[in-house]
Amino acid sequence: MAERRYFGTDGIRGQANSHPMTPEVALRVGLAAGRLFMSSDTRRHLVVIGKDTRLSGYMIEPALVAGFSSAGMDVLTFGPLPTPGVAMMTRSMRADIGVMISASHNNFADNGIKLFGPDGYKLSDEVELKIEAMMDEALDTGLAAPDQLGRVKRIDDAQARYIEIAKASFPKRLSLQGLRIAIDCANGAGYKVAPTTLYELGAEVFPVGVDPNGVNINEQCGSTHPDALVEAVKRYRADIGIALDGDADRLIICDEKGQIVDGDQIMALVALDWSRRGLLTGGGLVATVMSNLGLERALVAEGLTLERTKVGDRYVMERMREGGFNVGGEQSGHIILHDHATTGDGLMSALQVLAVLVESGRPMSELARQFDKVPQLLQNVRYTAGKPLEDAQVKAAIADAEVRLAGQGRLLVRPSGTEKLIRVMAEGDDEALVRSVVADVAAAVKAAG
């Protein structure tokens, strides 16, 4: 596959006002994607655009709007809306393309551009490469005639529409009446829709991270900084805590005792519950190479499978569609419930956990431990130049580690998609062996880089 110049594992991402996250690149994305998704018929073509709460969204959005409208596409802007909400609205409003402006769980200084096709799914690698090829063409290539320019309009009811879709995913036979729920919205895109949804379903809601100011998104809050949620659960004596990330496409759960529940346990909880109810399709679930071996063993014990993909919820979704799976996700909290959404959705995933909590009548602390985790260790090794994974000593260290782990665990060594990092992860029943293996491989990578 051709080398990617703009797109990474999840759209285009970088520091705001630095390449590639500049107004010029955003303009080129709008021009290129607009031209690519314009069909030859005479109808008006449409793009919908949502964003999170970052200050730089005010810079990126107008540049995208200019690009799409100059290509001849009509534009509807939503303002702050979760990434899965943009995916839903793309399909619901019969748009030709959807755009989310967000850098997800990164801090406010970063931003990103994620694109969705008319079906609400993230674009394939092949389509992204086509857009890249068109982005470097002259800025006056393929512009619309003056009377064919796109019109631009702000839509104010997108949040209300998303709330209704989210509520509809919660079983009608159940209610959240009597539940005390702490929710941390990371000062991000879900800061209005998530607490409102939970309240309208009957819960007593204690929101934190709901005061965005443009620069506090994900700042010591949200799914990547769960201490704020733990503190809120204890302060409000909540039955459960829910933490979203900046664009609300992932979640972490906290039980009533303040213990964190990661994406692997959440996937197991939902998949095993759905399996018992005859709702699980595909015969198991899809997760990435990072998911814990304990998850795989728990599923196999119930006659289910775990299919692994490379890191990135887009690849999880692709495998889910190929194999007819309706549950998948990542250890980090990206949970995809294909019956309800086309991408990771933190709020809808939380609602499925709440459904099990309500129906079972058991405390979250009992539901949280669906399996015993196998000791797992991840070490990130930074390098400055070259390709450490092609070094002979690194290859030898990896081969030796795999021999030592054979039958007792597994090793994963992969480059980061966004930074000059090599990620070394091992897991197995023998924690001392896991530590030793990771240390040896990491040392070899450091020596090579």
**DSSP secondary structure letter of residue 175:** -
Listed in sequence order, the residues at least 6 apart from 168 whose beta carbon sits closer than 8 Å to its beta carbon are none
Q: Phi and psi (nearest 5°) for 411?
A: -125, 140
Q: Phi and psi (nearest 5°) for 93?
A: -95, 10
* DSSP, residue by residue, 370-439: SSPPPPEEEEEEE--SS-GGG-HHHHHHHHHHHHHHTTTEEEEEEE-SSSSEEEEEEEES-HHHHHHHHH
Give the integer Cα–Cα distance in Å for 349 and 359: 16
Known catalytic residue: 92? no
Give the integer Cα–Cα distance in Å for 154 and 151: 11
Give the integer Cα–Cα distance in Å for 336 and 72: 33
Tokens of 103: 């850098």
- Among residues 69, 70, 104, 223, the one annotated as catalytic is 104
**DSSP secondary structure letter of residue 214:** S
Measured between its terminal Cα atoms, the distance across the chain in Å is 25
Give the integer Cα–Cα distance in Å for 438 and 398: 9
Whether the Cβ atoms of residue 88 and residue 164 lie closer than 8 Å to each other: no
List the beta bridge partners of residue 336: 328
Tokens of 336: 């995809």
List the beta bridge partners of residue 379: 424
Give the integer Cα–Cα distance in Å for 355 and 176: 8
Listed in sequence order, the residues at least 6 apart from 126 whose beta carbon sits closer than 8 Å to its beta carbon are none
* Closest by CA position to 429, among listed 371, 370, 373, 374: 374
Q: Which residues are catalytic?
A: 104
